[in-house]
Amino acid sequence: MYSYVRPYRLALLAGGVLSLVTAATGLALPLVVRALIGDLGQHRAVTAVLLLMTVLVTANAVLGAMGSYLLRRTAESVVLAARHRLVDRLLGLTIGGLDRAEPGDLMSRVTSDTTLLRDVTTNSVVGVVTGSLTLVATLVLMGLMDLVLLGVTVGVFSLTALVIGIVVPRIGRAARQAQNSVGVMGAALERMLGAFRTIKASGAEHRESERIHAAAREAWRADIRAAKWQAIAGNTAGLSVQCAFLAILAVGGTRVASGAISVGTLVAFLLYIFYLMMPIQLLEEAASQYQVAAAAVARIQEAERLPVEPGGLPIGEMTTAAAPPAGLGRPADPARPAAVSFEQVRFRYRPELPDVHQGVSFAIPPRGMTAFVGPSGAGKTTVFSLIERFYEPQSGRVLLDGTDVRDWPAAQLRAVIGYVEQDAPVLSGTLRELLRRPRLLLLDEATSQLDALNEAALRETVAETALITTVLVVAHRLSTVTMADRIIVMDAGQVKAVGTHSELVASNPLYAELAATQFLASVSA
């Protein structure tokens, strides 16, 4: 937790000092009151003492306001920094890492868990320091006045400390459960919004609402539990002050009667009892909030430990990566034997899933357009994911311009590739601008239809680009495959045939079938 607060230690120190000075002005007041009572008793002039009291009261209010503003401001900065750090971390995640996470839960970690750092910064960090210093100072001043009464006070507060010590860990446990449930609810909401049409179409609103309500209720239950323990801890602190007050009144009263202390001392002592309320509540709140924040920090750190891409991906560098290093990513060099090649690539998305690529090999020359065709699930989109290095193959190599994609700096690799995802909501007009003359264009054709105008514009853009560079298209349309310079037929994670449309229609039964069913269907649609 300290690592989040460390950069702001100077501001915290300043806020802490202001709080301390505020507390000191408060502590001085009973002494002045004692002097006032003494002066009044002996009929001395009290103007100077009254003036001093006014100054102390005003300073207390002004410095107190400044201190709490500064602390709150710093706390908000800690939240901001934690959010910056986590968001950049999330953007650096590997695609595989994100596949395994719940996006909704990650969102709750960025939005809700970070917020919990705010209170711990103002209350825990500063509260512990100011609270314990004020406590010690008050106790010392009390001791200077009367040791017997101090003994009574310490006795009462030790009991309080015991109760709070038992209660506080329970607050932590409840807070962790509450935050986890908020995460579960976020994940459920995210799934619900993502599949909204399906839910409506299948009339599953009731089941979905049950699931999300259950998570919300779970968070409520845990929060109520935390509130219960927090109320117990807070009121134990309050109660102990009342008890101490009564005990001092009783014991102090007899001591005044016996002449051991003066009435002025007793009054001052009773005032100190109420000044103890502040540090004791500060310490109690610090302890409970520390528990809540520790739960949040644990969740934030869990998210920060998700696998990030090699090289850590400095976000700033990724967007400004202008020119790739010499030799890499130049306009297609026709002298090169292959722009993109797969060598015996075997790949699966997760260890427990079957191989998606079962030894895929091909080599694509630097100029022109290559179309990938094959039944759904053949592994065509996966080819693009491996070129982009969203995942790494279990064995075999993926080469761009003769260099293994693992040897390319990740940001530069992606800077030279233009990628249009399958069914991405991209229109051809924006396509021309979004694609900034890439070294390599990957186009995963939408399975759904574009309107005729957009489709013609898209085809034109692709044809233009193919004249100067390498274009790979996952093709679902006859118009695309007939335009392609070569076609790679994939099925069940393997390359089955390579050729032109007319060659393949004649020689490859799978292709002939695809052409007859899938492509022609897309034409008539």
Ligand X SMILES: Nc1ncnc2c1ncn2[C@@H]1O[C@H](COP(=O)(O)OP(=O)(O)OP(=O)(O)O)[C@@H](O)[C@H]1O
Q: Which residue is nearest to Mg ion (CB)?
A: 381
Place of tokens 């323990």: 229
Q: Considering beta carbons, is residue 132 or 381 the nearer one to Mg ion?
A: 381
Report, in Å, the least distance between residue 488 CB and Mg ion. 14
Binding mask 180-219 for Mg ion (x = CB under 5 A): ----------------------------------------
- Of 54, 87, 99, 246, the one binding ligand X by CB under 6 A: 99
Binding mask 352-381 for ligand X (x = CB under 6 A): -x--x-----------------x-xxxxxx
Tell me if 392 sits within 8 A of 406, measured CB to CB: yes
Per partner kind, with CB cut-offs from 5 to 8 A, the member of Mg ion, ligand X, none near residue 42 is: none
Per partner kind, with CB cut-offs from 5 to 8 A, the member of Mg ion, ligand X, none near residue 188 is: none
Per partner kind, with CB cut-offs from 5 to 8 A, the member of Mg ion, ligand X, none near residue 382 is: ligand X
By the rule CB under 6 A, 423 interacts with ligand X: no
Tell me if 387 sits within 8 A of 417, measured CB to CB: yes
Q: Considering beta carbons, is residue 301 or 381 the nearer one to Mg ion?
A: 381
By the rule CB under 6 A, 494 interacts with ligand X: no
> How far apart, in whole angstroms, are the C-alpha atoms of residue 78 and residue 26?
29
Q: What is the DSSP letter of 497?
A: E
By the rule CB under 6 A, 422 interacts with ligand X: yes
Report, in Å, the least distance between residue 445 CB and ligand X. 9
Q: Residue 381: which of 411, 357, 352, 350 has the closest Cα?
A: 357
What does each C-alpha distance from 283 to 224, 331, 515 come to in angstroms? Answer: 22, 66, 75
Beta strands in 479-520 (DSSP E): 486-491, 494-499
- Of 68, 281, 358, 381, the one binding Mg ion by CB under 5 A: 381
Own/partner contacts of 145-148, CB < 8 Å, gap of 24 or more, are: 145/261, 145/265, 145/268, 145/269, 146/252, 146/255, 146/260, 146/261, 146/265, 146/269, 148/251, 148/255, 148/260
Report, in Å, the least distance between residue 380 CB and ligand X. 3
By the rule CB under 6 A, 382 interacts with ligand X: yes
Report, in Å, the least distance between residue 441 CB and ligand X. 17
The distance from CA 434 to its chain's CA centroid, rounded to whole angstroms, is 28
Report, in Å, the least distance between residue 311 CB and Mg ion. 28
Report, in Å, the least distance between residue 332 CB and ligand X. 25
> How far apart, in whole angstroms, are the C-alpha atoms of residue 76 and residue 80?
6
DSSP secondary structure string for all residues of 420-466: E-TT-S--HHHHHHHT-S-SEEEEE--SSPPPHHHHHHHHHHHHHHH
- Of 346, 349, 426, 492, the one binding ligand X by CB under 6 A: 349
Q: Considering beta carbons, is residue 105 or 444 the nearer one to Mg ion?
A: 444
Report, in Å, the least distance between residue 522 CB and ligand X. 12
Q: Residue 292: which of 128, 125, 171 has the closest Cα?
A: 171
SS3 content of the chain, % helix, strand, coil (to 5): 70, 10, 20
Binding mask 335-374 for Mg ion (x = CB under 5 A): ----------------------------------------
Report, in Å, the least distance between residue 423 CB and Mg ion. 9
What does each C-alpha distance from 213 to 111, 200, 222, 225, 493 come to in angstroms? Answer: 20, 18, 14, 18, 42
Interface residues with Mg ion (CB under 5 A) are: 381, 422
Interface residues with ligand X (CB under 6 A) are: 99, 349, 353, 356, 374, 376-382, 422
